[in-house]
Amino acid sequence: MRQLLLKIFLFPFVVGLSFIFLSGCEKKYDTVIDSVGSAPIISGAKFSLTNINTDTMYVGQVQTSHDVFNIRATASLKVILPDGKEKIASVNYFLGDYQSSIILSEGTLHDDGILPDLFSNDNIYSGYVAFQIQRVVAGDFILKMWSINQKGDESTISFLPVHIGRFNHAPVISNLIAPDTLYIGNRLSLTLQVSDSDGLSDVYKVGYLSLKPDGNYANSGNLIQMYDDGGEQPQSGDLVEGDGIYTYTTTVPSDALIGTYVFTFSAFDKLHVTSNTIIHRLTILPFKVNE
């Protein structure tokens, strides 16, 4: 009986003490669950490539749809922590299509002062984004960048558009310098200026077709090539290499047909896109007799 009375007397005290203890534990647990996450804050997203024109890129002398390019660009992102208590676990990037079904590249950026990052611990994370594409690849892609702290809190995501396409422009020829009349044995000199908005390195071949007075084409109907090589080729006559001025020089042979030749000048880029054409007529006369 004494033990029963003791249990009855102590029960409310034990229950109350247990409630206080459990309440204290639950309060601490709620504090962890309800705490506001310190997700990283990002800004200043940059990418060194926003438009990739594969028609200005070359693997060989002639472009093909099977050409494969290794591309490397630079990405950077500023990341800060709002309360400074958590540490950054990673700063990530993803380059692909909008549905993430095509992945061109993915990895992490760093704030370590190792190129392409300029300064360590300045909150700007940088890195090389390297990927490989074929010339046939074209479309709109995105570069996503974001950060995660050591608690797993993620920042918002930065989206930068990246367009890969083929924007080839045809070469343009102008300022032809050519004689109207020559005699057998005279020196023929032709000069033509060539430009290309994709760069002079996109120019593949420059020259002219020569329709003879008998209605046949010289050089078996093939282009007679002009040169921008600084005079390296025997028939060049060019003065400055790589300045876009193409020349051709030769001596009118003794067996040349007498009459009017029709020259059709044109230029081709590495996709074999043809420039505008310039037509010039040249009359060849017999040997000039000195009086």
Same domain, 89 and 69: yes
Same domain, 185 and 151: no
Q: Name the residue among 75, 71, 95 with its Cα closest to residue 143.
A: 95
Q: Which of 54-68, 100-114, 169-183 has the lowest mean pLDDT?
A: 54-68
Same domain, 100 and 177: no
pLDDT in tens, 116-145: 999 999 999 999 999 998 877 878 899 999
Same domain, 156 and 209: no
Structural domain contains residue 114: yes
The strand order across the sheet containing 68-80 reads: 41-47, 68-80, 124-134
Same domain, 176 and 155: no
pLDDT band at 268 (very low <50, low <70, confident <90, very high): very high
Higher pLDDT, 3 or 60: 60
pLDDT at 197: 82
pLDDT at 290: 57
SS (H, E, C) 220-272: HHCCEECECCCCCCCCCCCCCCCCCEEEEEEECCCCCCCEEEEEEEEEEECCC
pLDDT band at 269 (very low <50, low <70, confident <90, very high): confident
Same domain, 47 and 156: yes
Same domain, 85 and 139: yes
Which pTM was predicted? Answer: 0.53
pLDDT in tens, 168-201: 788 999 999 999 999 999 999 999 999 988 788 8
Same domain, 159 and 228: no
Structural domain contains residue 204: yes
Higher pLDDT, 4 or 248: 248
Structural domain contains residue 23: no
Contacts of 10 (CB under 8 A, 6+ apart): none
Same domain, 138 and 207: no
Dist. CA 147–CA 155, nearest whole Å: 5
Same domain, 228 and 159: no
CATH number at residue 220: 2.60.40.10
Are residues 209 and 217 in contact, defined by beta-carbon separation less than 8 angstroms? yes
Q: How many domains does the chain have?
A: 2
Chain position carrying tokens 């600084």: 230
Instruction: State which of 134, 165, 196 marks the end of a domain.
Output: 165
Provide mean pLDDT across the span 79-98.
88
Structural domain contains residue 11: no
Region of residue 139 (left: phi > 0; alpha: psi -120 to 50; beta: else): left
Structural domain contains residue 271: yes
Q: Does residue 208 sit in helix, strand or coil? A: strand
Same domain, 212 and 150: no
Across the chain, what does the average pLDDT equal? 84
Domain residues for 145? 41-165
Structural domain contains residue 27: no
Q: Write out the E strands in 24-138.
A: 41-47, 51-53, 68-80, 88-96, 103-109, 124-134
Structural domain contains residue 253: yes
Same domain, 155 and 181: no
Dist. CA 141–CA 163, nearest whole Å: 6
CATH number at residue 75: 2.60.40.2550
Structural domain contains residue 197: yes
Instruction: State which of 115, 139, 165 marks the end of a domain.
Output: 165
Output DSSP code: residue 62. Answer: S
Instruction: State which of 111, 139, 165 marks the end of a domain.
Output: 165
Contacts of 123 (CB under 8 A, 6+ apart): 78, 79, 80, 111
Dist. CA 163–CA 161, nearest whole Å: 7
